[in-house]
Chain A
Amino acid sequence: MSGDDEQWNDSNRAFLQALMARSTLTLDEAKPLLAAIQTTYERRETIAEDITEADLNAHIAAANTRISPFDFEIRSTYHQTTRKRVYALVNSSSDPIIQLATIHTAEEISFLKRVLDAMFETYNTSRNEVMAITSMQAVRLHKAPDRGRRDTQDGAATQGSTAQGLKMIEAEKMLRTLVDEGWFETSNKGYYTLSPRALMELRGWLIETYNDVDDDDDDDGERPPRIKQCVACKEIVTVGQRCSKRSCHCRLHDICVQNFFRMQRSNGCPVCKTEWTGDSFVGERAAPRRSGAGSNANTSRITVDDPDQNNDPDEIDR
């Protein structure tokens, strides 16, 4: 927390502001950005191709040192399906102050809370771990539930006006805005999922909110927690694969599967040793009765009710 120094100059500040101005940053986006900053700051032409991941990481490391005293942090994660690494500046602690940092009304926020509840409770059963929501399903949540709201997190909803909810058209708009703002992503099939950015920012909150507080440890939990982490990378899985044994709570990202089993040298679930079939899913592919071409390389089959059934070769791409 000192003044100016060599490690932190206007070029770093510009980078930090640029990061704050966007919801996420990828290496591809960072290249022209850092090149422009260097060109301007050092008065020496730098082209985007000159920027390496190490440069970006150096910038981020420097920034993290400076901003952590203020409870901000630049995190990075991999996109669950594209495997792109994304960086975002997130707030790492919650206080009433930071709650000002929204352009949404209290009603909109409580609608969002209902959507999240739906994603992680209603549409996240042990049978169908969808963890996503269609816009139809989401818009239906536009009204606040009649009977007293249950368990609103520290007043996100209660502090607002009384439970009126949104009009359907407002709910639709809110969903679009959430996509624009980078909190949600939409899939080809029209499902909304949490974006990597949202997962980074809400990581702790999600686990705290949706996983029972009692089951302190992962081991021998009879009922697996609602939010599960990838066995390989430890990040939350909302799109990925699951162990074919329904009671097992082992999950893996599609992007982690290959490496993981190569390292492990066996094809069994790391937890229960059941053979990993790769056709039991988390995410929209686990949704019941909605067929259609899978967007992913794995398979287009919707395997829900029969996780133990074995794969039909013609439906598996590889």
Chain B
Amino acid sequence: MPLIRKRRSQQAEPSPSPPPTRRRPSPAASDASSVDGAYDGGAALDGETQGAGSSHEQMVKKLVRLALASEYSRQPIRRADITTKVMAPHTGRQFKGVFEEANHQLRSTFGCQMTELPQKEKITVSQKRAAQRSQTQNTLSSSNKSYILTSTIPPALRAPNILPPASVPTSASESAYTGLYTFILSLIYLSPGRTIPESRLEKHLKRMNADNYVLSGEKTEKVLKRMEKEGYIVKVRERDGGGEESVDYVVGPRGKAEVGEVGIAGCVRKVFGKVGMEREELEKRLVRSLGEGVEMKNRPDEGGEAEVEVQADGAGASEGEAEGGGRRRRSTRASNSTPKTPATRKRGRNAMVDEEAEGDEDEEEEEDDQGESGDE
């Protein structure tokens, strides 16, 4: 993705440098140009049947690009943005068609799709009241819907040796971040009422030696803000009758859609790594805490095949160094902990990011004791 804007497309360049190897006609190289040709041909065809058709195509293409671009910076794809940035004027009615076609293209070409984000929960009393007042309007209107991209390719193909955490900016920082939010989400999911008081979260973070700084050297506070901004977690402030303020964290829309119960269950399984009887016990508990959605009924016992070695990539090394201190780095074993649930489940997984980044593990493993206690 570009971080600099370009004014025109490459084709218009006066000297579009031909691919570097002219000696060897590589498919990649020759393809670049031939494909352009093919596309132009296609466009020309469309051009003949101008009108609605081509502008529909245009909108679909724009929406696909909007979706991919937004995901890069973890911005939700807002319905309102689609209206202003994608849809041509006076085409509001075509939204559904464009959206469906774009989602089809995303699925078939890129292996991901736009998944609607759940509405923010109304947690505090005042929020609830406000919601009641304006109920029908707000909750049902489609104009404030938003979406994120979630992967549609089989979990097995999302193992970290295939899809490492995206290098945004680096794979290492991305895995550290992914690890931390997965950890925090696990804490919230496994806490009573799926809400965790700020003080308790701080305690957990302290045990991880992440109460002040996190792996990347950034301030924990700042990282939590980022998670909030990106919708993984929501900070809820509420004043009770006595005027005392309580601050709690709950799961945010992106947290639900991207990680969700299934993701948390997968992470817990990996962390505990139980077998046999203990595993059954763990499964029972998981269902009790996270609901039946996380049951592993149809899962073949993963073992050999799914186990993949994590390459000792830069992520590991640099994390080791960057550790603010204290956090042990375990040798990462297979970390294909992506839950293998049937595709029908709502499984939110960021297309570009693999949650089961090895980064998760060092953090998750320490969560054991606490996750459990929260569970009981």
Contact = CB atoms under 8 A, between A and B. Distances in A.
Interface of A: 1-4, 8, 10-11, 13-14, 16-18, 20-23, 32-33, 36-37, 40-41, 43, 53, 56-58, 60-61, 64-71, 73-78, 85, 87, 90-104, 109, 112-113, 116, 153-156, 177, 180-183, 201-205, 207-208, 216, 218, 229, 233-236
Given A58-B27, A98-B2, A181 B167 contact: yes
B28 A74 contact: yes
Interface string B170-185: 1101000000000000
B10 A13 contact: no
Interface stretch (B14-22, B133-141, B198-206): B14-22
Contact of B28 (A57, A66, A70): A57
A86 to B, nearest CB: 10
A305 B13 CA distance: 34
Interface string B91-126: 000000000000011001111100000000000000
Nearest to A209: B7
Interface residues of A, dominant DSSP:
helix
Contact of A100 (B8, B70, B104, B153): B70
Interface size class of B (residues with CB under 8 A): 35 or more
Nearest to B311: A32
B10 A93 contact: yes
Contacts of B187: none
Contact of B7 (A20, A101, A183, A208): A208
A62 B17 CA distance: 22
A187 B120 CA distance: 48
A103 B168 contact: yes
A199 to B, nearest CB: 10
Interface of B: 1-22, 26-29, 31-32, 35-36, 38-39, 42, 61-62, 64-66, 68-70, 72-73, 75, 85-86, 104-105, 108-112, 151, 153-154, 156-159, 161-171, 173, 305, 308, 311, 351-353
Interface centre among B22, B42, B163, by most A CB within 10 Å?
A: B163
Nearest to A15: B162
Contacts of A180: 167, 169-170, 173
A208 B6 CA distance: 9
Nearest to B17: A234
A2 B3 CA distance: 30
A57 B1 contact: no
Contacts of A70: 61, 64-65, 68, 105, 109
